[in-house]
Amino acid sequence: MNDKRFKVANREAIIGIVLVIINFAIWFGFAYGLGSGDPKDYTYVFGFPAWFFYSCIAGTLFMIVLIFVVIKFFFKDVPFDEEEDGERK
């Protein structure tokens, strides 16, 4: 199991898990942090309750940008086929 592809795949899987945890923390924090009060006391952003806007809309946009940056700078192309001396087996 000294194949570099497995190391890269494991590293990228861990990065993916961290991204999911960040997404959940953002969603949960805003949804239950701002949305736990009395609905008559809610503030609104673009017609949405602030908890919904920040957890679902802004959080999604943030995650799209974050995933783009992570893919651009941390993920790399890995060939799936095994090649030896430039020839296929």
At residue 74, φ and ψ (nearest 5 deg) are: -115, -25
- pLDDT computed for residue 20 by the predictor: 97
What is the per-residue pLDDT across 29-65, written as a single tens digit (0 to 9) for each?
Answer: 999 988 888 889 999 999 999 999 999 999 999 999 9
Domain residue spans in the chain?
A: 4-76
Please answer whether residues 78 and 54 qualify as being in contact, where contact means their C-beta atoms are separated by less than 8 angstroms: no
Please answer whether residues 19 and 60 qualify as being in contact, where contact means their C-beta atoms are separated by less than 8 angstroms: no
What is the per-residue pLDDT across 69-88, written as a single tens digit (0 to 9) for each?
Answer: 999 999 888 777 765 545 55
**E strands along 1-89, which residues?**
44-45, 48-49, 83-84, 87-88
- pLDDT computed for residue 1 by the predictor: 57
